[in-house]
Amino acid sequence: MAGRYKIFLRLLESWPVDTTKKGRDLGQHIRKKITEAFPMGEASTVNVEECEKVYLSLKKICENHYVNKYPRRYSSSASGLTHEQCAGISSTDFLTEFSNKRRLFNWF
């Protein structure tokens, strides 16, 4: 089981951290789940098959496997916004500001 814990730690070293997501970052969530799955570190007992499935899935996400396999033809989304604009809109600061203004004007 010790090897499983180490491969997850190596994967987390290369996992990108999105500082604009403050508490909503996928990398932070995965780190928390790995800590819960391996409470005693290398000495933890885990389901090897399930562990391998999760590791391979996370590795594909981290390495942008499907982005590279199926490249996009357009730089905008269905909304017409670019990747950078979508990232800005989904940042925690923007969502907090939007929520505050929505309450101010009693929207929704």
- What was the pLDDT predicted at 73? 79
Q: Mapping DSSP to helix (H, G, I), strand (E, B) and coil, where does residue 1 land?
A: coil
Bridge partners (DSSP) listed for residue 76: 82
Interhelix angle for 48-62 vs 2-14, to 10°? Answer: 10
Q: Mapping DSSP to helix (H, G, I), strand (E, B) and coil, where does residue 76 land?
A: strand
Domain map (residue ranges) of the chain:
1-71, 73-108
Measure the CA–CA gap between 36 and 19, rounded to whole angstroms: 22
pLDDT tens digits, one per residue of 43-69: 778 888 898 999 999 999 989 899 899
DSSP 8-state secondary structure symbol assigned to residue 40? T
How much is the pTM? Answer: 0.67
pLDDT in tens, the chain (108 residues): 458 888 988 998 888 778 888 888 888 888 898 888 888 887 778 888 898 999 999 999 989 899 899 987 776 677 788 878 888 888 888 888 877 776 656 655
41 backbone φψ class: left, alpha, beta (φ>0; ψ -120 to 50): left
